[in-house]
């Protein structure tokens, strides 16, 4: 029988392993060119956070004692939700270069919030617009990271 404790430990270990992979991959990023911030910085920070959060989840769950509830596997609707979420994430990644970070972030978050939360369309649209704008200002303008700005913000 699958339990919540085993699932949390496994998920924590997998997230920590992804963090190690990201940290390792970030060492291969060249520092050529003059940047206000090294291109390695963002992947390095993300890798550290993944490693710490994954290890923290696994260790915290490992130390918990008490009732261990069984996991109910998703029904047909749950599987469909998972597949749609993964396909929309793949679309976000695929559209990042041609559309740029702000526009692809706006599209992805608007869809994901509307689909997963079943929120009103205007709420999803508002959050998508705000997040797309913040991603442009923070990552491209302020930090000067090498994310694609897209055709709307080139110039």
* pLDDT for res 93: 92
Kindly tell me if the per-residue pLDDT of 65 is higher than 70: yes
Q: Lowest mean pLDDT: which of 82-96, 100-114, 134-148?
A: 134-148
Average confidence (pLDDT) over 108-125: 88
* pLDDT for res 35: 62
Domain ranges of the chain: 1-73, 76-155
Q: In what helix (H) or strand (E) does residue 106 lie, and over which residues does it extend?
A: helix 101-117
User: pLDDT class for 32, splitting at 50, 70, 90?
Assistant: low
Kindly tell me if the per-residue pLDDT of 72 is higher than 70: yes
Q: Of 111, 145, 151, whose CA–CA distance to 41 is shortest?
A: 145
């Amino acid at each position: 029988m699958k339990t919540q404790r085993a699932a949390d430990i496994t998920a924590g270990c997998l997230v920590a392993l992804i963090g190690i992979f990201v940290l390792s991959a970030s060492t291969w990023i060249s520092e050529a060119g003059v940047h206000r911030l090294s291109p390695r910085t963002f992947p390095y920070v993300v890798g550290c956070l993944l490693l710490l959060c994954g290890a923290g989840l696994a260790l915290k769950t490992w130390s918990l004692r008490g009732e261990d509830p069984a996991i109910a596997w998703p029904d047909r609707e749950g599987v469909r939700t998972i597949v749609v979420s993964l396909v929309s994430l793949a679309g976000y990644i695929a559209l990042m270069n041609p559309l740029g970070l702000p526009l692809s972030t706006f599209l992805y978050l608007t869809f994901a919030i509307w689909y997963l939360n079943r929120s009103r369309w205007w709420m999803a649209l508002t959050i998508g617009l705000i997040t797309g704008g913040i991603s442009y200002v923070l990552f491209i303008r302020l930090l000067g990271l090498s994310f694609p700005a897209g055709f709307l913000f080139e110039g």
